[in-house]
Every structure is written in structure tokens, then in C-alpha cells.
A and B are shown apart, each in its own frame.
Chain A
Amino acid sequence: MATLTSAARRPSTRTAAGRGPRTRKGHGGRAAAVLLSPFFLLFACVTLIPIGYALYISLFRTERSGLGFGGSSTVFTGLGNYAKLLGDSVFRAGFAHVAIYGLIYIPVMMGMALAGALLLDSTLARASRFFQLVYFLPSQVPGVLAALAWLYLYTPHVSPLMNWLGDLGADPNMNHALWLFPAMANVAVWQFTGYNIVIFFAALKAIPQEVAEAALVDGASELRTALSIKLPLIGPAATFAGLMTMVGVLQLFTEPLVMQEIAPGVIGGQWTPNLYNYNAAFLDQDTASAAAGSILLAVAAALLSFLVMRLTRRWRDAA
């Protein structure tokens, strides 16, 4: 976070220059190779090779004939699986579902996390370490358990929450999209707001104190300092956190899988792209479609990330 402001960048360049010219370039290269090789080895094994294999199997399909009891053969189909998926309205609907979910979850979570971090950073805040820990805790609960816990909280007649909502005159019906989307987003908000508060708080701490002090001396209120000085300075951190959250949303899997139990009429077995792929691979035994679906999902994530980066850079340059 030291590179966030030009004020912070300048001293660090000076220190690097102070070390004098680099010596023995070749040695540095070898050291870099040694130090980086574990990363590249793992990266190749768990990322590059699987992606290559997925690309390969996505080009074939299994063919059976007649009643299907005469065995099967694998035939090359080129981009056939991709065309089939893109033509499948269920697969496309999966992207719409994660988009709706993301449009609820990301703004609410980011807004709450930024507000929470700014409050913790305000000069009026007390016991900020304690609250950081408390906010951070839910993110340490595994996603499945969080979803299961909320599943019970969303179950009518079992959960006090549902009883209270009922007493208030609401008729919560999780088996309806209007209730389900916010309910599912709420699980993620509960889980990840605190995590992002901690990240944003760290970014705020990296802002040179004299900048905020200067604003206060100039007569800016606590609120004004937070909104006009601190917020823009942690913009890059917020963008990055938002980007990671977005990629996570695209991969939505656990929550709908668990919530299916209370919303069988909304969440089908292929409700998000990842559920679709999972279903294809493990229930329909169609690994080729699953591979093609995963590649398409990765492409979508890459395109979206690129787009967000471009847009935020343009905004920042304009600002």
C-alpha cells in the first residue's frame, strides 16, 4: 500500500537509488529462477496443465447409438460443445442469475465495508482492534457451514428470524426469487463484509497521517475528510477488492447448492455456471460439456475483469 500515493512512492525510490548500482546481474537472474521455480512448477501443475487438458477434452463428445447399449465412442466435434452451451438457455440463464446476485451483493457489501473501515479509522473510534477481529470472524467460517447455518435461519417454523419476520407481517417465502436473491446475498454480506473492512482499514492506515491532519487543520469535518480525502486514496484497494469479489460471484456454487433445499422451485441443478458445469461433469457424466463450460466461465471472468480495470482507470484518469 506504500505505493498508493506519490508522497509515499518518492521516498522509496530514493532508498533504492541509495543502494547504488546493481552488481552481478547473472547471479540475480539465477536466484530469481530458483526462487520463482516453485511457483511456476505449481502454476503449471495446478493451472496450466488442467486448463490445457480441459481445452483438449472440450473438443470431443461421446457418441452412442440405437438404444445405447452397444458401447460408446468419442468423436471430435471441434467447437460443437461451445456452440451447444451458448445455445442452451439454461446455461445462459446461469450468468443472469449470478449477475442479479452480484448486483445486490457487491454494492451492499462494498458500501458497508467502506463505511465500516472509515468508522474504524475515524479519530472518534474506540477499541478498533477488537472490532476488526469481531468483523473479521465470519469470514473464517467455511462457506458451506455459513450457508447451512443461514439455511436453518431461513427455514419457516424452525427459525426465530422467520418467526419475527412473520410477526412483523411479512410472509417470507424463500422459494421465490424476490426473497431468495436478497437472502442469498445476505449470507455473503454477512460473511465477507468484515473481511473487506480489515483490508480497507489496512489501506487507510497506509495513508500518511499528515494528509488527513492537513485536511482537519484546514477545517474539514471528520465526515468530509473521510469522503473527500481518505476514500479516494484507498480507491485502488477498493477496486481490487471489488474485482476479486466479482470473480468470486461468477463462481457462485456453494450457497445455491445448499439453499436449494429451501428454494427447490428457484434454484435448479444448473442454476449458476459452476453448478451447470458440476452437474454436467458429475451427474450427467458429460465431462466435455463441463470442460467447455468451465472455459467459457473463465473467459467471461477475464473479460469482465478487463472491462472493470479499463473503466476504473478511465475514471481515475478523469478525476
Chain B
Amino acid sequence: MLDLHNLTRISRRGRSKALVTVGTLGMATVLAACSSSAGGSTDSAAQVSATYSGSAVVDLSFWSWTLNAQAVVDEFNKTHPNIHVTFTKITGGPAGYSKLFDAFKAGNAPDVFNCEYDMLPEFASEGLVQDISAYVTPQLKSALGAALPLTTLGGKTWAIPYDIEPTELWYRADLFQKYDLAVPTTWDQFASEAKALAAKDPGAKLAALPTDDALWLASLAEQAGGQWFSSSGGTWKVDLTGAADEKVASYWQGLADDKLLYTGASSSPAYTTAFTNGQILSMIEPAYEGAYLKSSYPKQAGDWAVAPLPNWGSAADGAEGGSSYPVSKDTKNTAAALEFAEWMATSSDAISTRMQGGASSALPADSAAAAQAESSFDKSYYAQSQDIFSVANAAAATVSQSWAWGPQVPGMDTAMSTPMGQIGSGGTVAAVLSTGQSQVLQLLKSAGLQASAG
């Protein structure tokens, strides 16, 4: 049934066009010799906080769905003779996490895996990944500072963050020119351009509202100043229905009611067809979307450009998605696993390998790594070879650093998916948020956690 899920529900967030390739699971070998030190590393911009210096070769396993992950692992194995990482490709989205949770239950989970920020609290609160706070050195903290709050929960750090994903406006530069539209910088302007477009061509829509992805609303709420999860005094505060959330809800509701948006599931053939035919002019997606545009719409080379997300009057942004590398509780060699995780997040070798062929447009949280990404990335697909990384870098600087995710996000997402799917055919954005609010509170409480509406 899991493969069925892969076939059908390829979520936008974890979109991976490849099917699962069966890889061998690297069996972690029991090796005693290991040590932790704050020793430097020649290929790293940040200080490596954990290194494995034993002479016997340690076997590690790593699961991910990101493009070029195999090449990144090969590069690591080549440069680290005493650690051997075996890579297994899994699918992104719910099916991939399902596989991970099952592997933990079966006792054969990977030592390191790719985990999005919104899923990390679930792994952490189930005790499946290690508290790595002790390894977070001041150097690492300053390098990954912007993203560390996303992997630090309840005062403990649970994973090495890789990227920060500011939400941006990806748009068809050619069609904006054709319809004589300005690239909007504020949401007011976004709405007026949407109306202008509707007047010029009733068949075209300025943007898409993906009705199969309720968490799409999260970064928009974050930008407006909302904060869905926070914790204080050992209690989760949940707030999906605050003033900022209501502002976002009524804005998008207005656009949807006026039929100014394309509303449909982003995983459906109709959605892709509409973009292929140029019926939708833009999408509101994070930095990583750039690489997916290239693989999804290869014929539109030279047409796509990116701009900062329109805002409410002053520069602000939210982040959507983004990945981290937690270390399994079952790993036989934490130091080696952490060395690998850190290398992936901070080493210039890892970044340049990952960027090969423009396969990833994710913005590394580490600034040195981000600079490396910018110079290694193949920009030729974008309109006038736009430097999409510089846009992402500037946007990332405006992302609030207080956003956090809590446990039970998967259950919350499931509950929100039905009202979200009704947008465009009678449903409301406000109903999506209020469903999420009540459902996650109920889920947190029924799991025995302290939670209250905040």
C-alpha cells in the first residue's frame, strides 16, 4: 500500500518524481572506537563538532528523497575513508515518513535521514531521534543560527538543519510581460494585478491556491506575524486563529471568492496541465521550488523568474518546508553520524555536489554554504539567467526566527485537508484554520501532552 501512496499522493512538499529505488540497508556495525572532539576540518566552513577518528570503518545508513543525494553520499565516502555511508532513496511526503516510522518500529531505521522541520517534533517526541544539544558548538550555532530554532524543541536540539526556505513568488516573466502586469510587491498590488489579468483574459489566473496542501497557509500566516506553535512553561500554545491568521484567511478567501485564483490539488494532472498551458502565471512556493520548476516544465526554460513574496507593507517573509538531519536513537556511532550530517549541511563539497545540474535550489542555512550553492548552481533555466539564490538570500533575512512546529502536525494536516480541499467549491480558508486549531489541540491532549489555545 505504501507504493500505492507513492504513485498517487505525491505531495508538493516532498515531490520526488522518482519511484523508490530499492537500496541495501547499511547495517550499522558495532564498533567501539569513537571519540568526540572539536577538531577542525579542512573541507568545512563551520567547525565540525563531532568527528569519528577511529581506524576501523564505520558503516552508516542514510535515507532521503532529495535529488543528487546519491552523489553527495559518494562524495562523502570518497573523502572520509573511515566512514562508509549507504544511501537509500525513499519518496518524499507521507509515504516516506511512513516508511521511516515503520523502520524505527522494526529496529532497522537509518542512522541519519532527511526530515522536514514540520515533521521533526513528531520524531523527537516519540523518542526516535537523539538529543544532540551537547554537540552544538558556538561555531555551529553561528553558522546555522537562522535555522537552529526550527530543530530546537523544548530547549534541546534534535537535528542539524540544512536549509531555510523563504516563501517566494515564482512567476512567468514572459506572461507578465504579455499581459503587461507588474510584479507585485505588496498583497494589495497582488490583488489588483489579479483583477487586471482577469479583465484581460478571463481564462488566465494570476496564481494557484493548492487545495491539497493545508500547510501552504503556514508560511503566509508566519509572514503576517502568526505563530501556530509555541511552548511556555511545559505547555504547548496553539494558535491558528489569531489576528494574523484571520487577516491571511480573509485575504485569500476574497481572491478565491472573486475567482481570481486557480484552486485545485497541486498533485493532480489538471494543475500541471494548467501551468504547462500558461493558464496560471505564478505560484507561491519556497526557494526549493526553483529546481522542481525546471524538471516539471522543461519547455518553459527562460520563462520563469522569482521575486520576494508580496508583503503587508513592510518586508517580512515566512518559510515553508526545509530539511534537517536527525540522528537515530539506534545508531551505533553517534559521532560518525553527526560528522556526516554536519558535512552535508556545511561542507562546500557537499553543497557543490548537491547543486550539480541545477538539481536543488534549496537555500542552505549556513551562509558560507549558501554562497557556495549560489556559485555552483546552474541558472540557465531562469529568465535572463536570474540569480535565484540572491533573491532567496535576501528573502531569508526577513523570515521571523520565532516560528516553531509542534508534535501532531501530521494529524493536524490530515484534519485540515478536507476543508482545504473544499476551497473553490464552497469551503473557506477560515474553516481550514479553525479545524486545524481544534484538531491539533485534541490530538495533543489525547497524547497526554499539555496544550492550550494561545
Evaluate contact between B268 and A144: CB separation under 8 angstroms: no
Q: Does B296 contact A (CB under 8 A)?
A: no
Interface residues of A, count at CB 8 A: 43
In the bound complex, residues from chain A placing their C-beta under 8 Å from that of B127 are 71-72
Q: Does A313 contact B (CB under 8 A)?
A: no
Evaluate contact between B273 and A69: CB separation under 8 angstroms: no
Q: Does B154 contact A (CB under 8 A)?
A: yes
How far apart are B157's CB and chain A's nearest CB, in angstroms?
11
In the bound complex, residues from chain B placing their C-beta under 8 Å from that of A266 are 418, 421-422
Identify the stretch in A127-135, A155-163, A228-236 within 8 Å (CB) of chain B at 4 or more residues. A155-163
Between-chain CB contacts (< 8 Å), 28 pairs: A64-B447, A66-B449, A69-B124, A69-B125, A69-B156, A151-B269, A156-B270, A157-B270, A157-B274, A158-B273, A173-B425, A175-B422, A175-B425, A258-B4, A261-B8, A264-B420, A265-B418, A265-B421, A265-B422, A265-B423, A265-B426, A268-B415, A268-B417, A269-B414, A279-B414, A282-B2, A284-B408, A284-B411
Identify the stretch in B45-53, B94-102, B303-311, B318-326 within 8 Å (CB) of chain A at 4 or more residues. B94-102
- With known contacts A69-B125, A144-B7, A284–B422 Cβ distance under 8 A: no
- With known contacts A157-B273, A265-B418, A278–B1 Cβ distance under 8 A: yes
Evaluate contact between B417 and A264: CB separation under 8 angstroms: yes
In the complex the two chains form, what is the Cα distance from A254 to B420 in whole Å?
21
In the complex the two chains form, what is the Cα distance from A292 to B289 in whole Å?
40
Q: Does A283 contact B (CB under 8 A)?
A: yes
In the bound complex, residues from chain A placing their C-beta under 8 Å from that of B414 are 268-270, 279, 283-284
How far apart are B13's CB and chain A's nearest CB, in angstroms?
14
How far apart are A288's CB and chain B's nearest CB, in angstroms?
11
Q: Does B122 contact A (CB under 8 A)?
A: yes
Evaluate contact between A261 and B268: CB separation under 8 angstroms: yes
Contact with B along A271-282 (1 / 0, CB 8 A): 000000011001
In the complex the two chains form, what is the Cα distance from A144 to B450 in whole Å?
41
Evaluate contact between A67 and B422: CB separation under 8 angstroms: no
In the complex the two chains form, what is the Cα distance from A67 to B158 in whole Å?
14
In the bound complex, residues from chain A placing their C-beta under 8 Å from that of B410 are 283-284
In the bound complex, residues from chain B placing their C-beta under 8 Å from that of A66 are 234-235, 449-450
Evaluate contact between B267 and A282: CB separation under 8 angstroms: no
CB-contacts of B247-267 with A (<8 A) = 265, 267
In the bound complex, residues from chain B placing their C-beta under 8 Å from that of A123 are none
Q: Does A199 contact B (CB under 8 A)?
A: no
Q: Does A47 contact B (CB under 8 A)?
A: no
Q: What is B's interface to A at a CB cutoff of 8 Å?
A: 1-2, 4-5, 7-9, 94, 97-98, 101-102, 121-122, 124-127, 153-154, 156, 211-212, 231, 234-236, 265, 267-270, 273-274, 407-408, 410-411, 414-415, 417-427, 443-444, 446-450
Evaluate contact between A155 and B421: CB separation under 8 angstroms: no
Q: Does A176 contact B (CB under 8 A)?
A: yes
In the bound complex, residues from chain B placing their C-beta under 8 Å from that of A198 are none
Evaluate contact between B4 and A269: CB separation under 8 angstroms: no
Q: Does A245 contact B (CB under 8 A)?
A: no
In the complex the two chains form, what is the Cα distance from A142 to B450 in whole Å?
46
In the complex the two chains form, what is the Cα distance from A137 to B211 in whole Å?
36
Evaluate contact between B211 and A64: CB separation under 8 angstroms: no
Evaluate contact between A265 and B449: CB separation under 8 angstroms: no
In the complex the two chains form, what is the Cα distance from A269 to B421 in whole Å?
11
In the bound complex, residues from chain B placing their C-beta under 8 Å from that of A262 are 265, 268, 270
In the bound complex, residues from chain A placing their C-beta under 8 Å from that of B231 are 67
Evaluate contact between A257 and B4: CB separation under 8 angstroms: yes
Residue of chain B at shortest CB distance from A282: B98
- Among A71, A265, A267, max chain B CB count under 10 A is at A265
In the complex the two chains form, what is the Cα distance from A269 to B125 in whole Å?
23
In the bound complex, residues from chain A placing their C-beta under 8 Å from that of B94 are 282-283
- With known contacts A265-B423, A268-B414, A67–B234 Cβ distance under 8 A: yes
Evaluate contact between A158 and B269: CB separation under 8 angstroms: yes
Residue of chain B at shortest CB distance from A142: B4
Please pick, from A155, A253, A268, A279, the residue contacting B270 in the complex, using a CB distance under 8 A. A155
Residue of chain A at shortest CB distance from B449: A68
Q: Does A5 contact B (CB under 8 A)?
A: no
In the bound complex, residues from chain A placing their C-beta under 8 Å from that of B9 are 257, 260-261
In the complex the two chains form, what is the Cα distance from A64 to B231 in whole Å?
16
Evaluate contact between B421 and A175: CB separation under 8 angstroms: yes
Evaluate contact between A64 and B265: CB separation under 8 angstroms: no
In the complex the two chains form, what is the Cα distance from A181 to B235 in whole Å?
43
In the bound complex, residues from chain B placing their C-beta under 8 Å from that of A67 are 125, 153-154, 231, 234-236, 449-450
In the complex the two chains form, what is the Cα distance from A263 to B9 in whole Å?
12
In the complex the two chains form, what is the Cα distance from A155 to B270 in whole Å?
6
In the complex the two chains form, what is the Cα distance from A269 to B425 in whole Å?
19
In the complex the two chains form, what is the Cα distance from A44 to B7 in whole Å?
33
How far apart are B365's CB and chain A's nearest CB, in angstroms?
22
Q: Other CB < 8 Å A-B pairs besides A265-B427, A282-B101, 4 of them?
A: A157-B270, A261-B267, A264-B421, A282-B102
In the complex the two chains form, what is the Cα distance from A278 to B423 in whole Å?
25
Residue of chain A at shortest CB distance from B407: A68
Evaluate contact between B418 and A84: CB separation under 8 angstroms: no
In the complex the two chains form, what is the Cα distance from A230 to B97 in whole Å?
54
Evaluate contact between A263 and B421: CB separation under 8 angstroms: yes
- With known contacts A69-B154, A284-B411, A62–B447 Cβ distance under 8 A: yes
In the complex the two chains form, what is the Cα distance from A276 to B339 in whole Å?
40
Evaluate contact between A68 and B421: CB separation under 8 angstroms: no
The 4 closest A-B pairs by CB, nearest first: A264-B421, A265-B422, A265-B421, A68-B125
How far apart are B220's CB and chain A's nearest CB, in angstroms?
19
In the complex the two chains form, what is the Cα distance from A66 to B236 in whole Å?
8
How far apart are A185's CB and chain B's nearest CB, in angstroms?
19
Q: Does A119 contact B (CB under 8 A)?
A: no
In the complex the two chains form, what is the Cα distance from A262 to B125 in whole Å?
34
Residue of chain B at shortest CB distance from A71: B127
Please pick, from B101, B122, B265, B447, the residue contacting A63 in the complex, using a CB distance under 8 A. B447
Q: Does A221 contact B (CB under 8 A)?
A: no
